[in-house]
Structure 1
């Protein structure tokens, strides 16, 4: 985009660009999202920034009306596979808070100085500033949605001290923590409601909040998970419900829709997450209500990032529809089902195991196998939470497990143990920001792992929006059905389908082939996302 096209987006209050860029207003000293409902500033007074951190670094404060820090993440970070895109995915997962800039640089294979230079040159802010902006948003979220003591909030948001927390909040929001808590409201950017507790902030150092007794999750933190554009929530929840593994996942049915629930293994403790199917908000500002119960609130940032990745909430449905909707074959599918998402994974290691269990079997069979694996090797929760009873087994545990209760062929068991051993010793690295092509090559080098499994892991565990599985029977059936429905692939100038489902014909769907895959799975069977073949 040029600066003029960005200003046109601001003039039209185009919510499609919320999170893609931010505008700082020189006359007021605040920064906003493009769709801010306030009066449009004069062009000479506007400065554009690629991230909220860059706007903050330039001295702008967050707008209290449009809450620019609460917008969905930029879809650019899902698409890009370079070091900047990988770094942004890792920062969103809380790597800088847990391991510092040196830890982030080590994971990316760069020096801290090189990483600082690259991020600053392209994003206007380095890793510390980017992580600081994220911590500030988490702090505001907790201040305005919970009655937690402010000292606990400071450490839960990732700050090293309460003094640092106070200074950052004052600088970014032009208010004290107590002022933010008192100013809570239910408008755009607010992320829930809770009773107000007295502000206990002080400038003395304190200890991080300790975990709840015996690892039991604390009272839930209410969240509103923002997304852009249309969202086919019914299809998304259908996908999750069909694959919900007993013990670690469940889908509850109620009068207002379904609630997806699951357990989480996090860095500081365990967690239980739940998300409502029914969308809230209005117009272009929509969100899914969620609740997180965490044994240690320091896991909040990572837990939110994992939920967003699982539900693919940072996707850009406008860009996807523009590319796929213009295709003669996929256009009718896109029109019939706007807002389809490509679900990711709450735990990349778990997804890799489930992909192996799903090789050459139906969705129901894969679900049963995984349930037996969880019952046999998963760690029980301190106390059951509804139908949730376990955490998914760790790769280290499964690498040496006999796996006799699964009733699988010996070769499949050997493959599962090999994958878990590679995950445990770092031969295969599945984490936010991992190098996707290298991960796929490492998986393909393992016995029993073929292109389908490696591609499926890349699509879901690593959130790659541009994966196609030409060998998948559901894809071939879906493409053949669509081609037949439109009278063959030669209509309206479409290239002929030489090999239904073949990679050659999918090239025109880049960089959104993962979404094309889901459309074809949907077309292959009567139910949404009901692939008749593999699908863990």
Structure 2
């Protein structure tokens, strides 16, 4: 959707397929919205289009209170693209700018700060500082409307350097003071604030676009859950997945629900919505990072319309896509952990957790440990492929983080002694979130590109391939 007339038609038809792909602003009202906003469609000559919410905010527009454009799923483009802009957007979402500044982001990308600023501004209309600012504003709104935390704590938990900066940003983005924004919370949010926090955790809605086949995702997570780090409870259709997270400032326990009534097949799959989640953080500064890692695990920023259109045109895949529209390709909450688990399997991973994992200060039921870090494993069990892989992860020879260069990671994995091509492909698919990975074996049709990872998940869900 690069043509502005086409974008306007999407706005006129309130097409939710493009929520997050672009934003539109109305010059006569000073408000920006998502394409599916239910408000009266503005006249074409009053509309401006932006690639990001940050760009709209930087041009002086405020977020619509009706459609809440800051709450849409992230653009699927950033997960697909392997170039500098895509890598930068994934790292900004993970909180790198908040923690390390633009200099840290640039160093991770291998560019100068000026080059990163120029590329992001030229393509997206906003630089890394503005993009991170928009993300902080969204985190602030979530905390204001779902917790009873004092405003001062929310300011710093959201990543702001000062309360004044927090107040100014909230006013600029939402045309309301923090107190007014809190008072405008939906009734459910106001009710949740009566519960003491942070012990009760932060309730979240993890939005997604289009249909979402939760059943196969939860099936996979249940199949591979590692004792001590993960558990899954409940009956199919209404399960809850929980896991521990190691985060930059502390730890967390996250719980995500399958949502009662979400269909496990294509019939009646809802055309957009969210997964309910709750995150218990030891340090609130980790909220944004925790949310992004859950989004990557559940592949919530995917564009199911683009995937299904391409794969549904294939004779072999067409009935599978029709049966499961919106099938996702799950990622990883911790890429290094996923790499180790892909190599050793579930049972051996559980042994590593019990022997080398860090025990939580406050275990929660069966969740007792964090998965051991690569450096710990490399020192404890240095021999064989496991030792080689964990050493490469620990010293940075293999980089799998959200901003990793996928081509460089592919080559680095190929250089790990003893790591077979099938395991490397699994790591690329899950840890790197690569949507177009083909494991060794019979060649996959070119018509499945650039969604071969999704195509293989359709074959697995249909029982034509086994999960490893």
Q: d(CA) in 2 for partners of 1:269 and 1:383? A: 13
Q: d(CA) in 1 for partners of 2:260 and 2:44? A: 35
Secondary structure in structure 2 of the residue aligned to 1:400: helix
1:383 to 322, 339, 362: 362
Partner of 1:271: 252
Q: TM-score, normalised by structure 2?
A: 0.95
Could you give the per-residue CA deviations for residues 185-214 of structure 1, whole angstroms, max 9, x where no partner exists? 25xxx97852379xxxxxxxxxxxxxx9xx
Q: TM-score, normalised by structure 1?
A: 0.83
Q: Is 1:244 the equivalent of 2:245?
A: no
1:452 to 410, 422, 425: 422
Partner of 1:315: 302
Secondary structure in structure 2 of the residue aligned to 1:13: coil
What is the deviation of 1:400?
1.7
Q: Is 1:222 the equivalent of 2:203?
A: yes
Q: Is 1:419 the equivalent of 2:398?
A: no
Partner of 1:518: 457
CA contact (8 A) 2:312 2:322 kept: yes
Q: d(CA) in 1 for partners of 2:203 and 2:328? A: 23
Secondary structure in structure 2 of the residue aligned to 1:261: strand
Q: d(CA) in 2 for partners of 1:221 and 1:193? A: 13
Aligned length: 460
Moved over 3 A (4+): 190-193, 279-285
Q: d(CA) in 1 for partners of 2:326 and 2:433? A: 17
CA contact (8 A) 1:191 1:224 kept: no
CA contact (8 A) 2:237 2:261 kept: no
1:330 to 290, 304, 317: 317
The answer for unaligned runs of 5 or more in structure 1 is 198-211, 358-365, 404-412, 472-501, 526-530
Q: Is 1:289 the equivalent of 2:281?
A: no
Give the greater-gyration-radius structure (CA).
1
CA contact (8 A) 2:237 2:260 kept: no
Q: d(CA) in 2 for partners of 1:467 and 1:134? A: 30
CA contact (8 A) 1:262 1:388 kept: yes
Q: d(CA) in 1 for partners of 2:381 and 2:86? A: 39
Partner of 2:447: 508
Q: d(CA) in 2 for partners of 1:152 and 1:5? A: 43
Partner of 1:343: 330
CA contact (8 A) 2:155 2:162 kept: yes
Partner of 1:428: 398
Q: d(CA) in 2 for partners of 1:96 and 1:160? A: 12
- C-alpha change, 1:133 and 1:191, in structure 2 (3 Å) is farther
Q: d(CA) in 2 for partners of 1:468 and 1:46? A: 42
Partner of 2:137: 136
CA contact (8 A) 2:63 2:173 kept: yes
Q: d(CA) in 2 for partners of 1:151 and 1:293? A: 19
Partner of 1:532: 466
Q: d(CA) in 2 for partners of 1:46 and 1:103? A: 36
Q: d(CA) in 1 for partners of 2:240 and 2:274? A: 14
Partner of 2:350: 371
CA contact (8 A) 2:31 2:62 kept: yes
CA RMSD of aligned residues (A): 1.9
CA contact (8 A) 1:87 1:108 kept: yes
Partner of 1:232: 213
Could you give the per-residue CA deviations for residues 402-443 of structure 1, whole angstroms, max 9, x where no partner exists? 48xxxxxxxxx5101111111111111110010001001001
What is the deviation of 1:453?
1.6
CA contact (8 A) 1:280 1:286 kept: no
What is the deviation of 1:470?
3.3
Q: d(CA) in 2 for partners of 1:30 and 1:52? A: 11
The answer for unaligned runs of 5 or more in structure 2 is 263-268
- C-alpha change, 1:280 and 1:45, in structure 2 (3 Å) is farther
